[in-house]
Amino acid sequence: MKKRPLLVIIVSWIFIVAGSVGLVYHTLPLFQGQAVDMGRGGTVDTLVISFVRVLAILAGVFMLRGHNWARWLAVAWAAFHVIVSIWHTPFEVVMHIVVLLVVVYILFRRASAEYFASP
């Protein structure tokens, strides 16, 4: 069994918690007869947002299990949020870029690369 780096554990759990909290936050209104509406229809938007949240949970869980594809999914998830934040304030764009850079650094540093390397 490969030793799991502490920073990988922390990032993984952040993805799991962020995905879980976001999933509950965005699906709860759907069960109350409301939905997030970004122009395409509330239910469709809620399902798309929920799918993105599930991807965060999957990335976190499978990073804890040492799957290399999961760290790439986590990076893609963070990059997606940088793209989506372009329609927000400049501060939010900068913060999403910082988060992306931190995630990339943590998941691709030497100890993490060894952990995610195939056995």
> Per this entry, what is the length of the chain?
119
**Model-level pTM?**
0.86
- Per-residue confidence at 25, pLDDT binned at 50, 70, 90? confident
- Per-residue confidence at 2, pLDDT binned at 50, 70, 90? confident
> Residue 39 pLDDT > 70, yes or no?
no
The fraction of the chain above a pLDDT of 90, given in percent, is 73
Which one is predicted more confidently, 24 or 13? 13
Q: How many CA atoms lie within 13 A of 12 on its CB side?
A: 20
Which distant-in-sequence residues (6+ apart) come within 8 Å of 82 by Cβ?
Answer: 93, 96, 97, 100
Residue 59's Cβ-count burial label (10 Å; 0-12, 13-18, 19+) is: buried
The DSSP 8-state label assigned to residue 4 in this structure reads: P
- In 23-84 the beta strands, taken as DSSP E runs, fall at none
